[in-house]
Amino acid sequence: MSKEMITRGETSLGIEFGSTRIKAVLISDAGALLASGNYDWENTLCDGLWTYSQQEILTGLRSAYAALKADVRTKYGLTLTAVGAIGISAMMHGYLAFDKDDRLLVPFRTWRNTNTEKAAALLTKELDFNIPLRWSVAHLEQAILNGEPHVPEIAHLNTLAGYVHYLLTGKQVLGVGDASGMFPIDSDAIDYDAEKLAKFDALHEKDGFPWTLREILPQVLPAGAPAGTLTADGARLLDPDGDLAAGCPLCPPEGDAGTGMTATNSVAARTGNISAGTSVFAMLVLEHPLSKVYPEIDMVTTPDGKPVAMVHCNNCTSDIDAWIRLFDEVLRAFGSNVPKRDLYDRFYAYAMRGAADCDGVTSYNLLAGEPLLGLSTGAPMMFRASDSKFNFANVARSLVFSSFAALKVGMEILTQKEHVRIDTLLGHGGLFKTEKVAQSLIASALGIPVSVLPSASEGGAWGIAILAQFMRLRKPEEALGDYLNRKVFSQIDLRTETPVRADASGFAAYFDRYMKGLAAEGALTRD
């Protein structure tokens, strides 16, 4: 059956550029995973800014697709020549600025950079809207404040997903969810907020730039809208072997927030999700607007434009990954070769054996700066009481707690100050790969049931494939939430963990120590 689906092109292809991995998945019209391919990559620090090279973006795109194509050949004995629809997703925000000849003016500045503090503060005040440090308009404003000579040459700005989509289709368009991480969105108009665009332009009228902000931003499209077709050049870029046919439709490119909402069926009011990988963020679809602007809370949208409160933390699993590498090195030094997946599973299993409050062991996973905590730079740190049991279980549990401790700060604003109601949170991403552990501990820490879907570890690549499928298969005028409930999630069983009182009390004690110890972290990283 799967072989026939692939032959007839009854499939959707999703490609997502994550922080450490580019993943391509091919799914059936029922949403089942048919094949996948990966490419591992990592950001680099260049001249003080986090970036991925333009060449590696292209290499990663081709390599992930080639791995998927090889998987199709291995599983089904077929050469992949056509798909029904394609979707591109990537890390949101950041800064990709091009001139009129499509020349990249400065290296890609990713969401991870925190050098935009002055710009973000200025724009938050001028626009009366929280503009986080990682947003595209904050990067643009900082370049203006710095007097960078490339600014007058800008012909268009884009996100990573929008850039790759442009390479494949020639269309300068962006899904509304990803666009909401570039500049504030008017959810009624499904477009950039016109009043705030005018305020930005007025702010820089004296600078005499040969562009307005709207002119250089991508066109905004809602989920389900056609967003171009795969050109001949795009097909050759994706598949240099020449087997993939041009002409396939593409859905609007989306950010990892939007694909996370889709992958967890969290696009309706009172639904929410947590995406936990290199970074961690929680998104709650709102019933009502927030009462005021909070610097800790980002306002973005679902892929179909509904307002979403987002708590974003730059750091999540990177410090756990570093400790796993250390454990692997130690084991190899003694001649033991344990598969990496087994190391992770054992690590998480021992986290559940630790003392409820980690017995005084406290970790800070701050590899990068964490604006939500007021830290512009990061340095992983761990401390313990002199009488703590410094064992594997307590260390493991403290590292897991650390991966979402900063998230707790923003979630308390929404649930306690704004009284945002949420029925359940859906978890996805690498932190949820080991069954129940992080899911259970996060539920206890936040006091909200956390559910995980069987597809949770596929994350955004599966989500953007579903958005491509939605564009191709939805009924006329069918809403995204209705489509997800009818077509995708009706037969999927959730795995739900509810808060455990002992774990909740243990995390509360841990969190109290964590917040008190932030002063030491700040002193360590202060210039």
- pLDDT tens digits, 235-268: 999 999 999 999 999 999 999 989 989 988 899 8
Same domain? For 308 and 374 the reply is: no
Mean pLDDT of 216-235: 98
Is residue 356 included in any domain, yes or no? yes
Residue range of the domain that includes 387: 318-402+501-525
Q: What pLDDT is stored for residue 428 in this prediction? A: 79
Residue 259 lies in a domain: no
> 517 and 470 in one domain?
no
Domain presence at residue 416: yes
Higher pLDDT, 69 or 428: 69
Answer whether residue 30 shows pLDDT above 80.
yes
Dihedral in degrees, nearest 10, Cα atoms 452, 458, 464, 467:
-50
Long-range Cβ contact pairs of 239-243 (< 8 A, separation 24 or more): 239/62, 239/65, 239/66, 239/69, 240/62, 243/69, 243/79, 243/80, 243/81
pLDDT value, residue 128: 94
Is-contact 378 370, C-beta < 8 A? yes
The per-residue pLDDT for 281 is: 85
Looking up residue 157, the CATH number of its domain turns out to be: 3.30.420.40
Does 476 lie in the same domain as 337? no
CB atoms within 10 A of CB 147: 7
For the chain, what is the mean pLDDT?
A: 94
Shared domain for 372 and 413, answered yes or no, is: no
Percent of the chain with pLDDT over 90: 80
457 pLDDT higher than 70: no
Residue 424 backbone phi and psi in degrees, to 5: -160, 155
Residues 6+ apart with CB under 8 A from 103: none
d(CA 138, CA 130): 11
For residue 199, the model assigns a pLDDT of 98
Q: Is residue 260 part of a domain?
A: no
Question: Do 392 and 509 lie in a common domain?
Answer: yes
**Does any domain span residue 14?**
yes
pLDDT for the residue numbered 458: 56
Check residue 527 and give its pLDDT: 56
Domain shared by 146 and 234, yes or no: yes
